[in-house]
């Protein structure tokens, strides 16, 4: 084979690798991304009582009242946030439920006798019930949380702020409740900052609207959450003086208590009530949200806090790898998750899907050091200059430090020193000079538009304010994600063990361990670029 034909074959082969890689990666919409990130933590809640009225002739008339709503886990040990009005019947207790069941029985008697519902007729129905020895028995307390795998657990109310417009409660009008089930390693959602929401911001409502229930659907569908997207349409205040957000997102009965999420899958509030009916008809696009900053007030009363767990980290890492066509890694994350949470139905489903992709040959090829694939096209590291051919040299990254990172007890500490790297060349104009400090210019993410100074001694970027000097509040950013500072007379980035990695210029590039900074580079946190920044003198 002549040299020119061989070069053509290499170019075509490289292009086919890039196309295959692009096809293997899953294309996802913003709505689907938020839906999958949040779905495992969303639950259906049932509240009410069942009973029976027995007559002396042996007739049994079933009565009861129960409603359903939505909620979501806020901590791995079983605390769930929802609306107070969702669990109002359980809060009111059995005696109030009996009164409601007696009223229901009266309506049944009147209907069976074609009698109008009036006060006089109601007294006649009660007299008839007494004459026939009617006895009311409560048969079941319906305090249940339904999970997506079909299982259920009883709950207890740990904190309660009365529904909006209610009276006689010291925490009236905030419509927030925190309930608890006995479970370990529950998937959770992170509470965001509702004060940052503005009119026009995109939001996603998740939950179990009653309108989505149907006799033609199977039982599994009753625990399959629905996600609708819309926007914040107004910021208002209730008659109780409580701030609420208005949304154009479609929602109805059953959505109450469900999470309203921003584009980072953070909870910025809960659906709580809708606008008034018009001519007896429910009008969509006028639904209201209890802000997350209001709901957050009830955490201490319930004796809990909003924390993520091991399951959340494994789920996020698994989704990142799955969507990046790294199916073997994704399958490993999901299988590890299932050891901790065997009832996690979504992880079980994606284990099977990942295995199908692996067996079908859809796995994304491992990154090569001599061929660079960018954006679905092929950039071959082979340059044709005046007939000369220059093969791309393999770039060897400095080895990671052998010493483990120290436990943080005070201010965040720099990572252990790596082996000495190559000294910067005096004539290398692309390498940042040995300045005493640099600026971090944030291009995207929670700190977009901000400029922060980093001294030569270095600083950590991360999600946890106790472990990082610069806090990047996003759930895909590790608590202590990447260190930036001077080593061997040069500015360096060190990412030893973040979950989702740090990348140079593009989330599709190899993740870094230790990287000497150069001018013009952009640094990306996580493959999805949830935050990005540059260094400037």
pLDDT in tens, 79-135: 999 999 999 999 999 999 999 999 999 999 999 999 999 999 999 999 999 999 999
Q: Angle between the 310-323 and 327-340 helix axes, to the nearest 10 degrees?
A: 160
Model-level pTM? 0.64
Nearest partner of 367 among 407, 409, 400, 325, judged by Cα: 325
Residue spans of the domains in the chain: they are 36-302, 309-359, 396-537
Distance (Å, whole) CA 499 – CA 408 = 18
pLDDT at 163: 75
pLDDT < 70: residue spans in the chain: 1-27, 164-173, 210-222, 239-240, 251-254, 273-286, 366-434
For the beta carbon of residue 20, count every other beta carbon within 10 angstroms.
16
pLDDT at 299: 94
Domain pair 36-302 / 396-537, same fold: no
Q: What is the mean pLDDT of the chain?
A: 78
| Angle formed by the axes of helices 310-323 and 345-359, nearest 10° | 30
Residue with tokens 């009236």: 172
Show the beta-strand stretches assigned E in 96-252: 135-141, 144-146, 152-154, 156-161, 176-180, 202-207, 226-237, 243-247
**Largest distance between two CA atoms of the chain:** 109
- The confidence score (pLDDT) of residue 221 equals 58
Domain 36-302 classification at class level: mainly beta
Residue 45 CB partners (closer than 8 Å, separation 6+): 68, 69, 70, 71, 80, 82, 86, 87, 144, 145, 146, 155, 179, 257
Residues 504, 525: Cα–Cα separation, whole Å: 9
Measured from the Cβ of residue 120, the count of other Cβ atoms closer than 10 Å reads 8
How far apart CA 401 and CA 417 sit, in angstroms, is: 7
Nearest by Cα to 303 from 452, 157, 470 = 157
User: 462 pairs with which residues across the strands?
Assistant: 471
Nearest CA to 526 among 477, 469, 468? 477
Q: Are 42 and 206 in contact (CB under 8 A)?
A: yes
Q: Let me know: does 234 contact 200? Beta carbons within 8 Å.
A: no
C-beta of residue 176 within 8 angstroms of C-beta of residue 83: yes
How remote is the C-alpha of 462 from its chain's centroid?
18
Cα 314 to Cα 31, 39, 81, 309, distances in angstroms: 21, 15, 22, 9
pLDDT of residue 157: 96
Pairwise CA distance, residues 68 & 64, whole Å: 14
CB 441 within 8 A of CB 421: no
| CA dist., res. 263 & res. 35, Å (int) | 10
Q: Report H helices in 390-485.
A: none
Query: With 0-12 CB in 10 A as exposed, 13-18 as middle and 19+ as buried, what is 300?
Result: exposed
Please identify, in words, the CATH class of the domain defined by 396-537: mainly beta
Partners of 137 in the β-ladder: 52
Residue 447 in contact with residue 389, Cβ under 8 Å? Answer: no
pLDDT digits (tens, 9 = 90+) for 148-166: 988 899 999 999 987 765 5
Per the CB < 8 A criterion, the answer to whether 186 and 264 are in contact is: no
Q: Can you give the C-alpha Rg of the chain in angstroms?
A: 29
């Amino acid at each position: 084979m002549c040299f020119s034909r061989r070069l053509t074959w290499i170019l075509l082969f490289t292009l086919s690798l890039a196309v295959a890689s692009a096809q293997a990666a899953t294309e996802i919409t913003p709505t689907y991304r938020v839906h999958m990130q949040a779905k495992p933590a969303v639950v259906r809640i049932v509240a009410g009582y069942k009973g029976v009225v027995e007559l002396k002739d042996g007739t049994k008339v079933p009565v009861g009242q129960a409603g359903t709503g939505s909620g979501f886990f806020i901590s791995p040990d079983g605390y769930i946030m929802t609306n107070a009005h969702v669990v109002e019947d359980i809060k009111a207790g059995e005696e109030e439920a009996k009164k409601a069941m007696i009223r229901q029985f009266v309506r049944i008697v009147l209907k069976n006798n074609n009698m109008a519902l009036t006060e006089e007729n109601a007294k006649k129905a009660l007299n008839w019930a007494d004459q026939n020895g009617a006895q009311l028995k409560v048969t079941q307390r319906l305090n249940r949380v339904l999970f997506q795998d079909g299982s259920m657990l009883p709950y207890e109310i740990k904190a309660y702020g009365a529904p909006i417009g209610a009276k006689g409660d010291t925490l009236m009008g905030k419509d927030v409740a925190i309930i608890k089930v006995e479970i370990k390693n529950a998937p959770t959602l992170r509470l965001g900052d509702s004060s940052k929401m503005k009119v026009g911001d995109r939001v996603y409502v998740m939950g179990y609207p009653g309108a989505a229930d149907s006799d033609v659907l199977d039982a599994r569908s009753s625990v399959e959450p629905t996600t609708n997207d819309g926007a914040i349409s107004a910021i208002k205040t209730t008659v109780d003086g409580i701030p609420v957000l208005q949304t154009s997102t479609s929602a109805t009965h059953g959505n109450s208590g469900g999470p309203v999420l921003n584009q980072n899958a953070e909870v910025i509030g809960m659906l709580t009530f809708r606008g008034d009916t018009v001519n007896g008809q429910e009008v969509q696009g006028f639904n209201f949200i209890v802000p997350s900053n209001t709901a957050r007030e009830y955490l201490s009363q319930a004796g809990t806090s909003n924390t993520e767990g091991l399951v959340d980290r494994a789920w996020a890492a698994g989704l990142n790898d799955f969507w990046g066509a790294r199916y073997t890694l994704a399958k490993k994350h999901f299988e590890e998750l299932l050891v901790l949470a065997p009832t996690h139905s979504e992880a079980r489903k994606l284990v099977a899907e990942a295995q199908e992709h692996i067996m079908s040959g859809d796995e994304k090829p491992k990154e090569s050091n001599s061929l660079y694939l960018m954006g679905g096209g092929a950039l071959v590291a082979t340059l044709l200059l005046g007939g000369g051919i220059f093969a791309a040299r393999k770039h060897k990254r400095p080895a990671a430090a052998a010493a483990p990172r120290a436990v943080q007890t005070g201010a965040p500490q720099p990572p252990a020193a790596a082996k000495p790297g190559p000294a910067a060349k005096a004539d290398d104009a692309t390498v940042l000079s040995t300045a005493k400090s640099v600026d971090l210019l944030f291009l995207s993410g929670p700190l977009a538009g901000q400029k922060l100074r980093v001294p030569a001694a270095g600083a950590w970027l991360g999600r946890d304010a106790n472990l990082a000097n610069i806090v990047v509040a996003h759930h895909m950013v590790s608590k202590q994600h990447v260190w930036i500072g001077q080593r061997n007379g040069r500015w360096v980035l060190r990412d030893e063990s973040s979950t989702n990695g740090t990348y140079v210029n593009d989330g599709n590039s190899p993740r870094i361990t230790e990287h000497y900074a150069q001018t013009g580079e952009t640094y990306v946190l996580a493959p999805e670029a949830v935050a990005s920044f540059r260094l400037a003198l």
